[in-house]
Structure formats: C-alpha cells, structure tokens
Chain A
Amino acid sequence: MLRIAIFGATSGIAEATARVFAGEGARFFLVARNAVALSDIAADLKVRGASEVLTRAADLGELDALQGICDEAKAGLGEIDVALIAHGVLPDQAACENSVEATRDVLAINTVSPALLMTRLGEILARQGAGSLIVLSSVAGDRGRPSNYVYGASKAALSALGEGMALKLAPQGVNVLVVKPGFVDTKMTADFSKGPLWASARDVGEVIAAAVKAGKRGTLYTPFWWRYIMLVIRFAPGALVRRM
C-alpha cells in the first residue's frame, strides 16, 4: 500500500493520478489552497478505495511554510513512497510582459515553490533510501516561444532541477521524474478550444501512475509523442518559432 504526498492536490492531473492509486488502497497526504475542493477530493478518494486521506489546506505560495509542510507529510504518512508536486498557474503572457509583479508572482508559485519542495522532499526521500519524487513540468519549458515564454521559463527551471536530481539521487534509491504533459483538458486550460492534440487528465494521470509504479526516472513526456514534437520545435529556426 503506497503512501503518497501530493502538493497541489486539486490540480486535474494530480487528482486523476491519485484516483489510480486510491483504487489500490493508497494512503494520502494532500495539500492545496482550496479547503472545500480538498475535502471533496479526499471524500472521493476514500470511496474509490483509499485507506486514509490526510489533508492540509495551505497556500503553497507562502514559501516560508513549505519545509514545515513537507515534514508534516513525512510525519503523517510515516514514510513517503511517492511525492507529487503538481501546483502551478498558466499566466497571462501579455500581462507578464508589462509587469514585474505579475512575472514575479508566476515564478514564485510555478518555480520557487516547487523547487523548494523538491529540495526538501529530495532530502527526505534520500534519507529514507527509497521513494519517487514526481514534478509536473511542461513541454512549454523545452523552448521559449513568444506566446508563452514566462510560463515556459517557469517550467524549464523545474525540468533542469528534476533532471539533475534524478541523476544525483538515483544511487540513493530515489526516482526523480520530470513529467512534461502536452495540452491537457483541465480547469487550467478551460478557456482554450480543444483539438486533436489534446489529452484528458485521466489519460495523463494513468500514464503518470504507471510510470511511478515502473520506477521510471528522468523525463516523461505525456502523451509520449510530445517528445518528438518538442524535438522538432527545439531545433526549429527562430523564424518559425516566432509565430508559435
């Protein structure tokens, strides 16, 4: 029975991933800002088979509290088998371009907060000598594009941090996995019109859960073919990327 800590537990992808593990009787420690949504998700996971669901309402943008929350997760679960970091915002790119404050806020919640959590959780898992640390990054971090480079930059930092930690912590029995979803139909992307490249949160959650169970580390594109799309985009000439 897995013990799972989720930061940003109301994220659509995190919830879909949690449902897979709930069906197998997992125990959870869920952290999110919205206490009502958190308790709804906790109730749902229990009906789906979770053996216990602990919740902690917290604003993960309050950076000073993060280390303490990681320690609470460890204390609540005993051991952490899986830590999933899933919170983040999709900012208004145009607003960020003309506002230092808006850009700072995005980087604080999308980059600094997850990076601090990764650091502390990496320590905890390394001390356990086992566990998986999963961070939701994005394909947008693979190349800066005019339409969303602030979001892309905020995720690129997580990708680099996670890739490095994966190599560093592997000998200590810790699997660090950077997940790079493509377009996923969640509340974060509610205003986008959806086309054939879009995946459901459920499909992405199932892929993540399977990767965790298989002990995968490094980088996971989901759906998998985004790896090839992004390979092309990374090496595309600037003249082409300018329009993306």
Chain B
Amino acid sequence: MTQGESWGGYPKAAQTFRNVRDRHAALSLPPDGTALAFGNGRSYGDVCLNDGGTLLGMRGLDRFISFDAETGVLECEAGVLLADIIDIALPKGWFLPVTPGTKFVTVGGAIANDVHGKNHHREGTFGRHVLAFELLRSDGGRRVCSAGENADLFATTIGGLGLTGVVTWARLQLKRMGSAFLAGEQIKFGGLNEFFALSEASAATHEYVVSWIDCLARGASLGRGLFMRANALSADEAAARGAKAPIVLPLAMPLTPPISLVNGLTLRAFNAAYFYRQRTREAARLWHYGAFHYPLDAISNWNRIYGPKGFLQYQCVVPARDQRAVSEALLKEISRSGQGSFLVVFKVFGETTSPGLLSFPMAGTTLALDFPIKGATTFALLDRLDAIVCEAGGRIYPAKDARMSVETFRRGYPRLEEFRKFVDPRLGSSFARRVMGTA
C-alpha cells in the first residue's frame, strides 16, 4: 500500500505504510529496508518521506497519559496533535510553550523537527520545553530520555528528523495562558532598517513577533511589509475588551486546480492589496489565538492552491552579524526573479540555544516563503539563495526542504558527524539519503 505525502506535494514517494497503535509494542519493522515514523505529514519536503521503504504511521498513538493543571506538565503519546493539546489545556489556563504556524502537527513531529514559533526570541524552540520522552530503537531498546538521562539521545533526537529512534510518548511543560486572545499592534514598515528597529524594540516588550514581507517589492520599497507583535491577554483583560471567539467557517480547497493559482499576476495584486489594506502606519489589534498563530489552518488543504506540481517552501536563517545586508541580498534575488508567493514570513530569532544537535534556529534572521514549482528556474533560484545563506554562515530548515545540496547541509550543520553516531541503522528517510548520504 502506498500512502504518505508531504505538505509541499514534492517530491512524490512510494512507501509501505504500517500503522502504529500500541506504544507498549515492539517497533514494527519490515523484514528489510528502512522505516521512518510519519506523523501528520505537515513537513513540506522529504524529511517525512522514505521512498522505497516503510513509513510507520504514528497518528494511532493519540492518547493522553496525564495532565497536571497545577503545574502544566502534560504527558501524551507521540501521535497526539498540538491541536488536541490546545483543546484540553486552554480551558485550564495552559497553552503550548512554542507553536509552529499550524496546530496540525504531532508531538513526535514537533520534536523531530525541533519546531519554533513567533516567540523564539523568548522561549527558543519546542525542544526546550520537552522534559522527557521514550525512544524505541530497532535493537529493541526502550529508553526514557531527558536532559539528565540518556542525554546524548535526548540531544540527538530533538531535531533529529526521526533518525535516532521512534518517540512513543513525551512529557511537555506547557505555558500559562489566561485566555484565548492576544493583543498587540500591526505596523507597516517601509524597508529593512525599519524592520530591524521594530524587532529590536519589540523583543523585550512582546512575546510574539512576526512579519510579513512583500517579496516582489523592489527599489525604494524593497523589504516593505507588516510587522505584528502581541502578548497573550489574561482572562480579565480579554473580558474587559469584550473578546469573543470568532465563528470559524469550514473553508477548504476542495480540489487541486490544474495549474498553480499563484503566479506573477495574482501575486503582485495580492501583495499590494495586502500592504495597502491597512491605512494607518500602526493599528491596534485583538486576535483570537487561531487567527494569530494559525491563519492557514482555517483553510483545509490550502497547499492544493499550487496545483499538481506542488511547491517548494524555503526557510533559511542567517547569523545576526550580517543579517541586515544578507537579508537584503536574499530579498533582491527573490524580487528580481519575480517568483515567490504571498506567504512570506520574516523574523528575528533570539539568542537562546536550541537543545538539539541538528536544531535549525540560531541567533539571527529567518526568512520563509513558498515557491510554486516552475521547473528548473525555481530550483536555480533556490540554489542562488543557498549560496548567499551558506556564505553568510547560515543554514536551511530541513523540515521545509526538498532540494538543498549535500554541501549546503554539511556547511549549515557542523555537528552532523557527531549526530551520525546516533542514527538507528534500521531507520532512514528520503532526506537522509539525499543530504546525509545514509541508508
């Protein structure tokens, strides 16, 4: 049976799918070939694929184990979705300490990719809030890993792309959140100098900071965008502002259009309209957490908009040292190409070190955007961006990658050789074979 697709729809892979339903059972390995834990298929490229091998479907491990509403410590199986955690924790005053831009990822996937969010400058990555997990290895070993116990497997499994073993359950420290709402401002900025000034000023005052950039703007408008910053509201503050949960319409992209609906024409129009929709420079905003953290989750299968060829998501980080100049170089390259998409995220990461050997974030600036696949020109553009990033000492995010070179990965992740020693010989992925040269 063939099943298992990544969110970008590229590359395609064929693999045998085995559902995992019992966390007490031994690892269900095929007689030969490699296996890979597959969560909810929200990583974009090939870290969740294992072409020619086996995928272990982890969504069947979706039970909670315990939750202490006094301390915010939650234990659950690895296939539980972040959305499910919010459902049970928020009514008791707790929220995810770190969340990516979709809540439809599994806990196991969040650990394997050591995901980050709009509060990276405060809280670092998801892995920093993982207290412990159990790791199953192909030798039959079943180990509880934490900072104090099996610390090497703890550090290699966080951000380890599923290659060090299969996580069966995890213990997480949630974060207090008094209401479902956030308040803050949305501020227009005309260019990169303004963006970096706003980022610096907001880091101390706001927990959540993120920006949208018009990737087609050039010349004097290069680097223009919208800066969003917010703090969670307490129950009293939310009540005082009359915050009400929005009525969410069930929207879906019902089918894959024959061609990408995102092209030069639609994109230029979208971007200009989005930038000018806000009349004033600064606007006070009140957000429901869904609209703030997960705007795209409101549209099921939004990825279909890019048509049957799929899309490439590109996310890089460049070190703080030259972030202004390097960001400008990247934006110029993208703007000149006329490619890119409406969905562009720009953010300054904080200094907090990530717990994983292969974690992506570092102190500096991160840029993320989608590219509909238009063939060789798209791949060539991304190679040019890689060159700029590598030269600056930055790196590319594996969770979103489907095409970086062996060399780009090696340069971006200097601890790769250390990591290799912990790779389970019976586990593998399309990504690992492509950029790490493993089985």
> Chain A interface (Cβ within 8 Å of chain B)?
23, 36-37, 40-41, 43-44, 47-49, 187, 190, 193-194
B65 contacts across to A, CB distance below 8 A: 40, 43-44, 47
Kindly provide the distance from the CB of A12 to the nearest chain B CB, expressed in whole angstroms. 8
Contacts of B19 in A (CB 8 A): 187, 190
B67 at the interface (CB under 8 A from A): yes
Contact B88 A49 (CB under 8 A): yes
Known pairs A44-B64, A47-B64, A190-B21 / 11 extra A-B pairs, C-beta < 8 Å: A36-B24, A37-B22, A40-B23, A40-B65, A43-B63, A44-B65, A47-B74, A48-B88, A187-B19, A193-B1, A194-B1
Known: A190-B19, A193-B1. A40 touches B88 (CB 8 A): no
A12 to B21, CA, bound (A): 10
CA distance A79 to B22 in the complex (A): 33
Distance A175 CA – B74 CA, assembled complex (angstroms): 38
**Whole-angstrom CA separation of A43 from B88 in the bound complex:** 13
List of B residues within 8 angstroms of A48 by Cβ: 64, 88
Q: Which residue of B lies closest to A185 (CB)?
A: B19
10 pairs, A vs B, C-beta closer than 8 Å: A44-B64, A47-B64, A47-B66, A47-B67, A47-B74, A47-B88, A48-B64, A48-B88, A187-B19, A187-B21
Q: Is the interface of A mostly helix, strand, loop or mixed?
A: helix
Using Cβ atoms and an 8 Å threshold, which residues of chain A touch B88?
A: 47-49
Residue contact A44 to B63, C-beta cutoff 8 Å: yes
What's the Cα separation between A23 and B89 when bound, in Å?
12
Q: How far is the CA of A88 from the CA of B60 in the complex (A)?
A: 20
A46 to chain B, nearest CB (A): 8
Q: In residues 54-68 of chain B, which contact A (Cβ within 8 Å)?
A: 60, 63-67
Complex Cα spacing A43 to B66, Å: 7
Please, how many residues of chain B have a CB less than 8 angstroms from a CB on the other chain? 16
Residue of A nearest to B21 (CB): A187
Whether the pair A40, B21 counts as a contact (CB closer than 8 A) is no
Residues of A within 8 A of B60 (CB): 187
**B173: min CB distance to chain A, Å:** 16
* Nearest-Cβ distance from residue B79 to partner chain A, whole angstroms: 12
Give complex CA distance A37, B21 in Å: 10
Q: Name the B residues within 8 Å of A37 (CB-CB).
A: 22
Residues of chain A within 8 A (CB-CB) of B87 are 23
Shortest distance from the beta carbon of A28 to any chain B beta carbon, whole Å? 15
Q: Which residues of A contact B74 (CB under 8 A)?
A: 47
CA distance A190 to B56 in the complex (A): 13
CB distance from B34 to the nearest CB of A (A): 21
Q: Which residue of B lies closest to A201 (CB)?
A: B60
CB-CB < 8 A to A23: which residues of B? Answer: 87
Task: Find residues 253-292 in chain B having any chain A CB closer than 8 Å to their own CB.
Answer: none
A43:B1 contact, CB within 8 angstroms: no
Residues from chain B with Cβ under 8 Å of A47 in the complex? 64-67, 74, 76, 88
Residues of B within 8 Å of A40, CB to CB, are: 23, 63, 65
**Contacting residues, chain B, for A36 (C-beta < 8 A):** 24
Q: Find A43's partner among B21, B22, B24, B64 (CB 8 Å cutoff).
A: B64
7 closest Cβ pairs, A-B complex: A47-B64, A44-B63, A47-B67, A44-B64, A193-B1, A187-B21, A43-B65
CB distance from B26 to the nearest CB of A (A): 14
What residues on A are CB-neighbors of B23 within 8 Å? 40
Task: Write the nearest CB–CB distance from A187 to chain B, whole angstroms.
Answer: 5
Task: Tell me the complex Cα distance, A36–B65, Å.
Answer: 12
In whole angstroms, what is the CA distance A163 to B87 when docked? Answer: 37
Q: How far is the CA of A194 from the CA of B24 in the complex (A)?
A: 25
| Most chain B beta-carbon neighbours within 10 Å: one of A36, A37, A44 | A44
Q: Mark B85-122, 1 if CB is under 8 A from A, else 0.
A: 00110000000000000000000000000000000000
Contact with A along B207-237 (1 / 0, CB 8 A): 0000000000000000000000000000000
Give A37 to B22 CA distance when docked, in angstroms. Answer: 8
A43 to B80, CA, bound (A): 14
Taking CB atoms, residues of chain B closer than 8 Å to A41 are 63
A146 and B24 CA atoms in complex are apart in Å by 37
- Whole-angstrom distance between the alpha carbons of A44 and B84 in the complex? 12
CB distance from A37 to the nearest CB of B (A): 7
Minimum CB–CB distance for B60 against chain A, Å: 8
- The answer for the CA separation of A43 and B76 in the assembled complex, in Å, is 10
Q: Which residue of chain B lies nearest to A49 when distances are taken between CB atoms in the complex?
A: B88
Chain B minimum-CB-distance residue to A41: B63
Residues of B within 8 A of A187 (CB): 19, 21, 60
In whole Å, how far is A41's beta carbon from the nearest beta carbon of chain B? 7
Q: Which of B1-28 contact A (CB under 8 A)?
A: 1, 19, 21-24
Which residues of the other chain, B, contact A194 by a CB distance below 8 angstroms?
Answer: 1
Q: How far is the CA of A48 from the CA of B65 in the complex (A)?
A: 10
A129 CB to closest chain B CB (Å) equals: 34
Q: How far is the CA of A187 from the CA of B87 in the complex (A)?
A: 25
Q: How far is the CA of A190 from the CA of B18 in the complex (A)?
A: 9
Determine how close the nearest CB of chain B comes to the CB of A229; give it in whole angstroms. Answer: 23
A44 to B75, CA, bound (A): 10
Q: Chain B: which residue is nearest A190 at the CB level?
A: B19
Alpha-carbon distance between A10 and B64 when the two chains are bound, in angstroms: 15
Distance A44 CA – B21 CA, assembled complex (angstroms): 14
Compute how far the CA of A47 lies from the CA of B76 in the bound complex, rounded to whole angstroms: 10
Question: In the bound complex, how far is the Cα of B87 from the Cα of A134, in angstroms?
Answer: 27
A194–B3 Cα distance when bound, in Å, is: 10
| Cα distance A49–B63 in the bound complex, in angstroms | 13
A47 CA / B77 CA spacing, docked (Å): 12
Which residue of A is nearest B84, CB measured?
A48
CA of A208 to CA of B87, assembled, Å: 21
A47, B64: Cα distance in complex, Å: 6
**Chain A residue with minimal CB distance to B3?**
A194
Measured CA separation A49–B88 after assembly (Å): 8
